[in-house]
Amino acid sequence: MNRDELYVGQDALINFGKKKTFAGELKTDKSFGINIVNNDATDVTVAFCPAHYKGLGDIQKKFPGIDAILNDGVIYSNGGNDLVASSLDPSNSIAEWIAWMIKNPTRIPEIFVETTKTKFFATTIFQKEVNPYMDKGDKRIYLPNYVKSKDFHRDVKHVPLYKTDQDLYFHDSNVIQFTIPANSDITFRFAIGAEMNFTRMFEELSALGRENVLEMGAQL
């Protein structure tokens, strides 16, 4: 058995929550919630993760179908009919959340959705890794595979992406697009899975190195 077959995620670079392997990914007890209200009579495509693109004009050069980038407040307007996004956590803005995940790659293994707009569950989430050397194609998440008509009566609809290995990856090389139906009010709660953090790795390895050096009797 080689090293790859033995790997389960012990890594100073990645935070898995209560356990130090991928087995703890669904038990991080961390999530982030947002509410989006689309007052327009048309569907709006929103980049929930804009990768490294600096603004709407920049991202539309490669993704012309995107109408807005997720942020706080009014992110799309059509003749006064606005699409408005807000954080469910008053101490953390959407902008802060996105910035954190862009710098610290984060995996979303499941989403909890509250809305009476059942049309949303007929849409597709697109995610695409942007690469200047090749086109890797879209990864498509068909929401009808997760939420059926029999689930529409539930106040909260569960989208367990991890069951089909279609987790969402928020980082600076990935674009994630959601379609927000016309005249809809949707609340999303994203479960935070594994997070990759270079600062944490630096601190942990520095502490380990210091401890080992001291045990060897050397002077720092």
Read off the pLDDT of residues 154-202 as tens digits, 9 standing for 90 and up: 999 999 999 999 999 999 999 999 999 999 999 999 999 888 876 555 5
- pLDDT tens digits for 77-130? 999 899 999 999 989 999 999 999 988 899 999 999 999 999 999 999 999 999
Pairing of strands 110-114, 157-159: antiparallel
Lookup: tokens for 84: 């408005």
d(CA 14, CA 198): 8
The answer to which of 66-75, 135-144, 148-157, 201-210 has the lowest mean pLDDT is 201-210
| Token output for 160 | 């367990």
Task: Give pLDDT, residue 28.
Answer: 72
